[in-house]
Structure 1
Amino acid sequence: MLASPGGHPLNPSSVCARDPAADRDLRLLPKAHLHLHFTGSMRPGTLIELADKYGVHLPEALTGGRPPKLRATDERGWFRFQRLYDIARSCVRSPEDIQRLVREAAEEDVRDGSGWLEIQVDPTSYATTLGGLIPALEVILDAVRSAARDTGLGIRVVVAANRMKHPLDARTLARLAVRFADQGVVGFGLSNDERRGMARDFDRAFAIAREGGLLAAPHGGELTGPSSVRDCLDDLHASRIGHGVRAAEDPRLLRRLAERGVTCEVCPSSNVALGVYEKPEDVPLRTLYDAGVPMALGADDPLLFGSRLAAQYDLARRHHAFTDPELAELARQSVRGSAAPEDTKAKLLAGIEEWVVS
């Protein structure tokens, strides 16, 4: 069953009663998932088991069976979000934990119709327990290969720097990402609170990544306005933008994104859970779509936000009246914006056409 933005099960038969032809199962729609964070992809049950394994006390917000109430639009709210995320991350300590996390994330994606996943990770988060930066990334990439083999899902990695740390750390990560570009790393990102640090401070790190053949996919336009999206374009030469929804506030910026074909990795449930928008219908999906801005819907951090990939398409259907042909176009945009090989893209695009005419 699909999950609502709040994580509650949805009855597929009641999702789109206005038109029987629009009742196609969104889990059967082939799609690419381009915005999923490593720790945040964890199943709640897995977190509880790992916490018990390592004797980590979990706050009720992570054990209550419902997504925690978050509002990250102010410093205090973001701190609470980050604290919960850090507690969850502390429960992933061994190569076996990494293997389990990636395998389960892949299983969830396959269940939701994903044929390609680019999972985002900062290897420094696991370097201490796994023996250093290089061993940590090697463990992660090995887990990715195993999960891809076991589930049939195409999986690659986006190495993400933390904008709360020094830009020199980002350069180190960019060099590491390039070193493993032929072993499963396809992109370089920049995450955490976009209100901290200037994008231009990380320009050299992104230059290293681009020169090494990696796509640039920094976060921008979520907690701050259109200016952060422009900074990602101008200073980091982004080919994709993590989130990017606040670009909707600037028509000229929308035209620029559309003309350049820059894909925005839009995460509707995340936007609402963090207080960027009050209600699902406030997320500017229609504004971006009608402006011709390519989008790839993403789940961001299902552990904290309570819904996975197919639920994002369901949100577009229920709250923004996206028709099935329009949802299919969103799926196509996710595939086109991915780093998948051309034969994989062709297979997914063909599957989307089959879904539309079914």
Structure 2
Amino acid sequence: MTEPRRDLGLLPKAHLHLHFTGSMRHDTLLELAARDGIVLPESLVSEWPPELSAADEKGWFRFQRLYDVARSVLRTEGDVRRLVLEAAEDDVREGGRWLEIQVDPSGYAAKFGGITAFTDLVLDCVRDASERTGLGIALVIAANRTRHPMDARTLARLAAQYADRGVVGFGLSNDERRGSTADFAPAFRIAERAGLLMVPHGGELVGAANIRACLDHLHAGRLGHGVRVVEDPALLERVVESGVALEVCPVSNVALGVYSDLTSVPLTQLLDAGATVALGADDPLLFGSRLEGQYATMRAAHDLSDDTLAELARMSFRASRAPSDVKDAGLAAIDAWATNDPATGPDDRSFGSS
């Protein structure tokens, strides 16, 4: 007889890798597109979630094009407010207690009055969503590595201005195969001096070389993805010893062709080496799986025990920029989840409201 397993939807979690437009509900995308007569590609309608690959630049371009099409449906302040609130509601429904959502304001500036005006709008939406759902939410401002490093400096200065007003980190996203990581070091120094956490993407589409560059030149405190650090044992040891957390997004790793299937995602290798891992959903709109799904797929693919899943959730809080009281409450709630009888444990979905 199979032993009962604890409900992963009740496991308290911190969510550290979620992109802004990528957090949108599929139904919301369809509704907003229909409202404004935007014709979406079938891969975002009847064939959703789309078949994706990033094995080459053509595949990444298709992924990025779909993301840009989805972003185009955000046309009003109300649309932005709805996106943030629904992202918060979805995380709370799946056990979320803390969310750090990542955005590149320059991608929305033309429609919303510039990067500063858009950042103000998002932070106002974050405050509103947090009050309405009980979810703690902070912002990571990210530069785009396919654009000029001077643009990244502009965003770093913007992030620094909001360092004590809801922005907790500075990132670097998009295709790792484009541009030179070292060229973005001056931007990261600006953000670092403001006390922000350095959270560049690295180690998904490109292996150890870019992880090393993120550590050496960008002083990464967390790595977006970072999963391919297992390819270099010495580098993995360095990551473990320095306490750099890895924001691992299993479903997107497989969808983009980094790994052939979920059993190939080297989560257990990372854990066995002592790495700090925080599971994240990346872009649920394009990959079709939210935060709870990352825990569920890794439980199934690697036969993870509830104790291991609880420790993954603990690591997500420890690696976050959540206030100490939020961390402490989250860790205590995880302990309660891990010790409750899985067949009769209390339902803790009462956290937050919407």
Same fold (TM over 0.5): yes
CA shift at 1:65, angstroms? 5.7
In structure 1, distance between residues paired with 2:126 and 2:35: 23
**Residue type of the alignment partner of 2:308:** E
1:121 corresponds to 2:103: yes
What residue is the counterpart of 1:13 in the other structure?
Answer: none
Alignment partner of 2:279: what SS? Answer: coil
What residue is the counterpart of 1:340 in the other structure?
Answer: 322
In structure 2, distance between residues paired with 1:98 and 1:126: 10
How far does the alpha carbon of each residue in 1:26-72 deviate from its partner, in whole angstroms, 9 at most, with x for none?
01000100000000000011001111122211000001163100011
1:54-69 mapped onto 2 (5 Å cutoff) = 54-64=36-46, 66-69=48-51
In structure 2, distance between residues paired with 1:65 and 1:354: 41
In structure 1, which of residues 214, 225, 244 is the aligned counterpart of residue 226 of structure 2? Answer: 244
How far does the alpha carbon of each residue in 1:249-305 deviate from its partner, in whole angstroms, 9 at most, with x for none?
111111111101100000000000111001000000011110111000000000000
What residue is the counterpart of 1:166 in the other structure?
Answer: 148
Q: C-alpha root-mean-square deviation of aligned residues, in Å?
A: 0.8
What residue is the counterpart of 1:312 in the other structure?
Answer: 294
Q: Is the 8 A contact 1:178 1:212 kept in 2?
A: yes
In structure 1, which of residues 255, 259, 262 is the aligned counterpart of residue 241 of structure 2? Answer: 259
In structure 1, distance between residues paired with 2:181 and 2:160: 20
1:29-48 mapped onto 2 (5 Å cutoff) = 29-48=11-30
1:175 corresponds to 2:157: yes
**Residue type of the alignment partner of 2:329:** K
What residue is the counterpart of 1:196 in the other structure?
Answer: 178
In structure 2, which of residues 124, 149, 157 is the aligned counterpart of residue 142 of structure 1? Answer: 124
Q: Is the 8 A contact 2:13 2:317 kept in 1?
A: yes
In structure 2, which of residues 259, 275, 285 is the aligned counterpart of residue 277 of structure 1? Answer: 259
What residue is the counterpart of 1:292 in the other structure?
Answer: 274
**Residue type of the alignment partner of 2:18:** L
What residue is the counterpart of 1:19 in the other structure?
Answer: 3
Q: Is the 8 A contact 2:42 2:48 kept in 1?
A: no
In structure 2, distance between residues paired with 1:46 and 1:182: 32
What residue is the counterpart of 2:336 in the other structure?
Answer: 354
Q: Which runs of 5+ in 1 are unaligned?
A: 1-16
Alignment partner of 2:321: what SS? Answer: coil
CA shift at 1:321, angstroms? 1.4
Q: Is the 8 A contact 1:93 1:126 kept in 2?
A: no
Aligned length: 340
Q: Is the 8 A contact 1:242 1:266 kept in 2?
A: yes
CA shift at 1:316, angstroms? 1.4
Alignment partner of 2:278: what SS? Answer: coil
Q: Is the 8 A contact 2:43 2:49 kept in 1?
A: yes
What residue is the counterpart of 1:233 in the other structure?
Answer: 215
What residue is the counterpart of 1:81 in the other structure?
Answer: 63
What residue is the counterpart of 1:9 in the other structure?
Answer: none
Alignment partner of 2:142: what SS? Answer: strand
Alignment partner of 2:199: what SS? Answer: strand
CA shift at 1:315, angstroms? 1.2
In structure 1, distance between residues paired with 2:273 and 2:141: 30
Q: Which runs of 5+ in 2 are unaligned?
A: 341-354
Q: Is the 8 A contact 1:218 1:240 kept in 2?
A: yes
TM-score by length of 1: 0.94
In structure 2, distance between residues paired with 1:56 and 1:124: 22
How far does the alpha carbon of each residue in 1:193-231 deviate from its partner, in whole angstroms, 9 at most, with x for none?
000011110001001001001000000000011111111
CA shift at 1:19, angstroms? 2.4
Report the identity percentage: 61
CA shift at 1:18, angstroms? 3.9
In structure 1, distance between residues paired with 2:157 and 2:243: 27
In structure 2, distance between residues paired with 1:98 and 1:38: 10
Q: Is the 8 A contact 1:225 1:246 kept in 2?
A: yes
What residue is the counterpart of 1:8 in the other structure?
Answer: none
Alignment partner of 1:116: what SS? Answer: strand
In structure 2, distance between residues paired with 1:128 and 1:66: 28
In structure 2, distance between residues paired with 1:53 and 1:174: 35
1:205 corresponds to 2:187: yes
